[in-house]
Copies of this chain bind each other. A is one copy, B any other.
C-alpha cells in the first residue's frame, strides 16, 4: 500500500499546480498549489500516508458530511422532509432549482441543503458550532482541531451568495432559526482545519458499519452508514458526481480547500489534499490521485 502511494505521488508530482486555487478569501488564495498529501487508514488501524498528509487545511464542504451525520443522529423525522436526496444536476450554489422546487434543496451536500442541516442541528443541539467541532475532535481523537476564525470571518464578509441562499430558504419557511445564526455556524464549520490523516481517521465509521474504531462508539447504524455512503456517491462531489464515480468509484466528499475524503466500505478511509481545483470545485490532483489509487489497487465499490 505504501508502495502504491509512493507511485501515485511520483506520477502526480509533475501535475501539481494545475487547476485554480479557491481565491474568494485571502486565507485560501495564499495556499501553495504545490501542496499534496494523501493518507489511508484501514478499519484495523493500519495507516499509510505520503506528502503533506499531516498538514491541516481548510476542510470547507467536507464538514457537510459531519453535520449531516449529526443531523441523522438526532433526526426527529423532519430531515428528509426538509431536504431531498437527489443529485442536483446544477452548480453547488445555484438558486434555480431551489425556486422550482419551492425551497427544498435537492440534497444535503449542496450549500442550500447544508444550510438546512445546520439549521436542524442548531434547533437540536443549541450550540451548533461547538457541537460539530466536539464531534470531529472525538472521531479523530485529536483535541487540537479547531476553527480558523480568520477564515470564518472572511467567508462571512464575502459570502453574499450563501446569504442569498439562506434568506431564500427562509422565505420558503425552510430555515427555522435566525438566518444570521445559521450562517455563522455554517461558516465556522467550513473553516475547520484538519489534515489528511485526521480526515481519514474521522471517516472510519463509514467504512466500519457505523462503529468508530477509535472510540468504539456507534456513530450511526449499519443502515444509516449505507445511507451516508450512497449520498456521498450520488451527491458528494458537486456537479461532477457522475464523472467522479466513473473514474474513482468510491463514496466521497470534496471541499474547495482542495481536500477529498473517500471511503471503501468494510476496508478503509482515504483522504487526499491538493488545492488546485477543477471547474466543478473538486481538487484536480486529488481526483487524479484517487483515480490512480483505485486503478492500481483494483479496489472500488463497482
With A and B bound together, what is the CA distance between A144 and B234 in angstroms?
Answer: 37
Say yes or no: is A107 at the interface (Cβ < 8 Å to chain B). Answer: yes
Say yes or no: is A168 at the interface (Cβ < 8 Å to chain B). Answer: yes
- 1/0 per residue A163-182: CB within 8 Å of B? 11111101100000001000
- 1/0 per residue A232-262: CB within 8 Å of B? 0111000111110110010100000000000
Say yes or no: is A225 at the interface (Cβ < 8 Å to chain B). Answer: yes
Q: Which of B89, B100, B161, B249 contacts A87 (CB 8 A)?
A: B89
With A and B bound together, what is the CA distance between A235 and B245 in angstroms?
Answer: 11
Say yes or no: is A148 at the interface (Cβ < 8 Å to chain B). Answer: no
With A and B bound together, what is the CA distance between A90 and B179 in angstroms?
Answer: 27
The residues of B that contact A96 with a CB separation of less than 8 Å are: 95-96, 99-100
Say yes or no: is A126 at the interface (Cβ < 8 Å to chain B). Answer: no
The residues of B that contact A230 with a CB separation of less than 8 Å are: 242, 245-246, 249, 302
Q: Which of B170, B243, B301 contacts A302 (CB 8 A)?
A: B301
Say yes or no: is A272 at the interface (Cβ < 8 Å to chain B). Answer: no
Q: Which of B86, B168, B171, B239 contacts A240 (CB 8 A)?
A: B86
Q: Are A302 and B229 in contact (CB under 8 A)?
A: yes
With A and B bound together, what is the CA distance between A295 and B222 in angstroms?
Answer: 10
Cβ of A190 to closest chain B Cβ, rounded Å: 16
A99/B89 contact (C-beta < 8 A), A171-B164, A302-B251 known: no
29 contacts between A and B (CB under 8 A): A86-B89, A89-B89, A94-B99, A95-B164, A95-B168, A96-B99, A107-B242, A160-B167, A160-B171, A160-B179, A163-B171, A164-B164, A164-B166, A164-B167, A164-B168, A225-B302, A226-B246, A226-B249, A226-B294, A229-B249, A230-B245, A230-B302, A231-B242, A231-B245, A233-B233, A233-B245, A234-B242, A235-B242, A265-B301
**Known pairs A85-B246, A89-B90 / 18 extra A-B pairs, C-beta < 8 Å:** A84-B242, A89-B106, A95-B96, A107-B242, A160-B170, A161-B171, A163-B167, A163-B171, A164-B164, A164-B171, A167-B167, A222-B298, A223-B295, A226-B300, A229-B302, A234-B245, A235-B242, A301-B302
